[in-house]
Amino acid sequence: MTDSNKPEGERIAKLLARAGVASRREVERMIADGRIALNGEKLTTPATILQHLRGVTVDGKPVGKADRTRLYRFHKPSGLLTAERDPKGRPTIYTALRNALPQDAPRLMPVGRLDLNTEGLLLLTNDGELKRAMELPSSGVPRTYRARTFGDITQGQLESLIEGVTVDGVNYGRIDANLERRTGRNQWIELTLTEGKNREVRRVLEHLGLKVSRLLRTAYGPFVLGDLPRGAADELKKHEVERFISELKKGSR
C-alpha cells in the first residue's frame, strides 16, 4: 500500500488503549458488547479508523484526553482477585486500591495478574499499549518470584528448568530458579521467568514434587517491590517510566 492509500488515523482500539480506557483486546470486547459509540452511533467493528477521540463515548461517557503514561506499584495482599469485580462478591484489588491511591489517580489497569493467593508486586498503568507490551512473552520482560515450598528438591533439579519444561501438555519456557535457604524439608526458592502463563510458578514447582505454601512476586522488569508495605501503592517516577519504555521499544526492534 502506498502512502497515498494509507488510511489517515489509527484503529479505535489502539487510540482507546493509549487513552487508558482498556487494553486493545478489552476494547474489542467492549465494542462487541455495544459499549462504545461515535457521535451517538454504536460501533460494530474495532477496525474503525479515527484521527482523534472526539465524539467517542464509553458507556455513554465522553472519553477524556489521554494523560501521560503513568505506572504504579501495588503490594497486593493474598486473598484479593486481580479483577474489577467478582460475581461471587469476593474482594478485588480495586477494593484495596480505593484506600491506597490518591483521589486524583487515573483509571488503572493491572499489568499481568496475580492469583488470589499470590501476593507481592503488581504494576498498574493507565496506558493500555504499555500494559500489552509488558505482558507479551516476546517482549522478554522478566518477572521474579519467591516461593516457600515443602518437599525434597536439589539445586540441580531447579537448574534443569533453564531449558524449559512441559507440564500436562503445557510448555513453559526458560526459568532461572535458585534455592535460597532450607530448614529441614522447607525451603525458599527464587524464580525468574518471562512468560507469566496462568499459575506457571505453582504448576512447575508442583511438577517437581513440591507443595507451595506462599508465593510472592518481588520484581517485574526493573521495578521491585522493595519495602513497600502490604496493601500500599505508590507512583513510579516519570523518568524511570520513560527510561523503561525507551528500553522496551529498543528491544522490540
Q: Kindly state the helix (H) or strand (E) to which residue 247 belongs, with its residue range.
A: helix 238-251
Domain spans in the chain, listed from the N-terminal domain onward: 3-62, 71-137+223-251, 142-220
Domain 142-220: CATH architecture, name and number where available: 2-Layer Sandwich (3.30)
Query: Is 71-137+223-251 in CATH node 3.30.43.10?
Result: no
pLDDT digits (tens, 9 = 90+) for 133-142: 999 988 999 9
pLDDT digits (tens, 9 = 90+) for 27-44: 899 999 999 999 999 999
Phi, psi of 54 (to 5 degrees): -65, 130
pLDDT digits (tens, 9 = 90+) for 41-66: 999 998 899 988 889 999 998 887 76
Per CATH, 71-137+223-251 and 142-220 having the same topology is answered yes
The CATH fold assigned to 3-62 is 3.10.290
Write out the catalytic residue numbers: 115
Phi, psi of 49 (to 5 degrees): -100, 130
Q: What is the pTM of this model?
A: 0.80
Please provide the DSSP assignment of 29-42 as one string: HHHHTT-EEETTEE
Query: For position 1, what pLDDT does the model report?
Result: 44
Q: Rounded distance, CA 23 to CA 213, Å?
A: 32
pLDDT digits (tens, 9 = 90+) for 98-121: 999 988 888 899 999 999 999 999
